[in-house]
Structure 1
């Protein structure tokens, strides 16, 4: 289960919060900034240097080359999860 601070500003764009999401297929959790599509796995520090791009992660998970959104939308693959507080 992913536990995060109440508010965690995205260090990459500083325009939105890193919020908990999960992959619908297997429930794998991650943090995502919906503004710049930066993604962090639960065991990673939320820093610019550790950021992954959502498109790259989704393409790799689905085994597709390039843009994974040509025939699907976010709601087909991921969903936001409730924010949990310590």
Structure 2
């Protein structure tokens, strides 16, 4: 994705580049509705993942992954050089 686009699920915010802090894995995220796409996916409603589900799976936790952590513990905006 070379430019930000409006989130196709909620239409309320931009889809922006983030990365997982642990290993730098990139992702595209709408911070309004927590929709997530991998960089090689089309940013569309049918392809959207839910941030909570992805984070829980990556951390190996069941249910809510935010009970003892916040977003800043897990993800961060990708540096401009990765845009």
* TM-score normalised by L of structure 2: 0.93
The runs of 5 or more residues in structure 1 that have no matched partner are: none
The structure in which a higher percent of residues are strand is 2
Equivalent residues in 2 for 1:36-51 (5 A)? 36-51=33-48
* Structure 1 counterpart of 2:73: 76
Q: CA deviation at 1:82?
A: 3.2
Match of 2:53 in 1: 56
- For structure 2, the 5+ residue unaligned runs are none
Point out the more displaced range, 58-67 or 75-84: 75-84
SS in 2 for 1:32: strand
User: Match of 1:5?
Assistant: 2
Q: Larger % of helix: which?
A: 2
Question: What's the offset of the Cα at 1:81?
Answer: 1.1
Q: Which runs of 4+ in 1 moved over 3 A?
A: none
Candidates 55, 62, 66, aligned match of 2:63: 66
Deviation at 1:6, TM superposition (A): 2.8
Which of 1 and 2 has higher RCO (CA within 8 Å, sep 6+)? 1
